[in-house]
Homo-oligomer: A and B are copies of this chain.
């Protein structure tokens, strides 16, 4: 079977999380509250951690935000990244407050003297810097957005390299899928820094999921990308859920178990969405320790006999509904048949047996 070969990169450590080809692709998200609202920020970070987020970023808009990071840091475990724009002194203050990485935007912090001050502080604090260009904040732009992103990023990277600082992560986010793919492909050939992937300003949630999945999916499939952030105009936990689903789908990470269902058609005699939802709810409510016992499981819930038995057989446990009964499978073999109504409960009984 096809396996993704990741592009070779340096390793960068964000707190305890290693980023680069020697490590799994890490999932990050961003707090949507103000950092200076410490209570809301901590609450969101804890929710993000529970959802599976591994690195979390906060916007630092003013000195109060920067100061708040110190208090937030004491109350959470996830590595914190300070998102800095316009004023390099906010980067210095955030480093002072103890963050694990700062992100600078080449489009709005560009004076070499200022960047060098941030480099010196990051070096002393032994933390990395993300060079994060966005199509929406480029200083000069032609009709070729991808080329603009790559050019401005490479020029910016030179400031760091001249200072002998290589503890870098790079991103070049566009709001278009094709620009984003092209920009990352080009930069991937020009440096060996770990790449942080994202599409910026995607749109409403459904479009955002599609755009991010298409762009980041393509790049990850090509082996490009070491940490990802899905930008959605939705709760940050949803960003993490999409990120997990994407990495799962490409076999780059395993956040199991996997639930496989058919889309249903005129052949389906049961309310499959309802039955699948019951399995999902059971999985969601499961104690994490128990869940780990079936982490690599594939669970199939199929509505008819066309692909049902085949998918169910391939799964670790599965049920295929025929016209009159549910056929239960375990590790490729039929276990028993049950009535249509009892189907999902019988599947849950098998799963309960597996986690006991």
A30 to B306 alpha-carbon distance, docked (Å):
15
Instruction: Return the chain B residue nearest A41 by Cβ.
Output: B266
Task: Judge whether A85 is part of the interface by a CB distance below 8 angstroms.
Answer: yes
Contacts of A259 in B (CB 8 A): 203-204, 207
A208 to B206 alpha-carbon distance, docked (Å):
12
Instruction: Return the chain B residue nearest A262 by Cβ.
Output: B201
Cβ 8 A contact of A32, one of B204, B206, B208, B264: B264
Task: Give a binary string over A317-341; 1 marks a CB under 8 Å from any B CB, 0 the rest.
Answer: 0000000000000000000000000
Chain B CB count within 10 A is highest, among A31, A37, A311, for: A311
A96 to B213 alpha-carbon distance, docked (Å):
42
Task: Judge whether A136 is part of the interface by a CB distance below 8 angstroms.
Answer: yes
Contacts of A203 in B (CB 8 A): 258-261
Contacts of A41 in B (CB 8 A): 266
CB neighbors of B among A135-150 (8 A): 135-138, 143-146
Contacts of A37 in B (CB 8 A): 266
Task: Give a binary string over A246-285; 1 marks a CB under 8 Å from any B CB, 0 the rest.
Answer: 1011110000001111111111100011001100100000
The smallest beta-carbon distance between A278 and chain B, in angstroms, is 11
Instruction: Return the chain B residue nearest A229 by Cβ.
Output: B263
Count of identical protomers in the assembly: 2
The smallest beta-carbon distance between A81 and chain B, in angstroms, is 12
A145 to B311 alpha-carbon distance, docked (Å):
12
Contacts of A226 in B (CB 8 A): none
Task: Judge whether A168 is part of the interface by a CB distance below 8 angstroms.
Answer: no
Stretch with Cβ within 8 A of B (4 or more), from A8-16, A58-66, A343-351? A58-66
Instruction: Return the chain B residue nearest A242 by Cβ.
Output: B210
Instruction: Return the chain B residue nearest A221 by Cβ.
Output: B218
Task: Judge whether A35 is part of the interface by a CB distance below 8 angstroms.
Answer: yes
Instruction: Return the chain B residue nearest A208 by Cβ.
Output: B263
Check B267 against A136 for contact (C-beta < 8 Å).
no
Contacts of A215 in B (CB 8 A): 217, 249
A262 to B232 alpha-carbon distance, docked (Å):
7
Interface of A is mostly: mixed
Task: Give a binary string over A102-139; 1 marks a CB under 8 Å from any B CB, 0 the rest.
Answer: 00010110000000000000000000000000111110
Task: Judge whether A300 is part of the interface by a CB distance below 8 angstroms.
Answer: yes
Task: Judge whether A224 is part of the interface by a CB distance below 8 angstroms.
Answer: no
Task: Judge whether A167 is part of the interface by a CB distance below 8 angstroms.
Answer: no
Cβ 8 A contact of A307, one of B3, B201, B249: B201
Contacts of A239 in B (CB 8 A): 263
Check B276 against A31 for contact (C-beta < 8 Å).
no
Instruction: Return the chain B residue nearest A279 by Cβ.
Output: B204
A200-B262, A233-B261, A310-B137 known; A214-B217 Cβ under 8 A: yes
A-B contact pairs, 26 of them (CB 8 A): A1-B179, A2-B146, A31-B265, A32-B266, A35-B266, A41-B266, A57-B265, A58-B266, A105-B306, A134-B310, A136-B310, A178-B250, A201-B260, A201-B302, A202-B260, A203-B260, A203-B261, A204-B276, A207-B248, A207-B249, A209-B213, A210-B213, A210-B242, A217-B217, A232-B263, A233-B263
A2-B178, A217-B218 are known; give 19 further A-B pairs, CB within 8 A. Answer: A1-B146, A2-B182, A3-B178, A32-B263, A59-B265, A59-B267, A134-B310, A135-B310, A136-B311, A178-B251, A200-B307, A201-B261, A201-B307, A202-B261, A204-B259, A204-B261, A209-B210, A209-B213, A214-B217
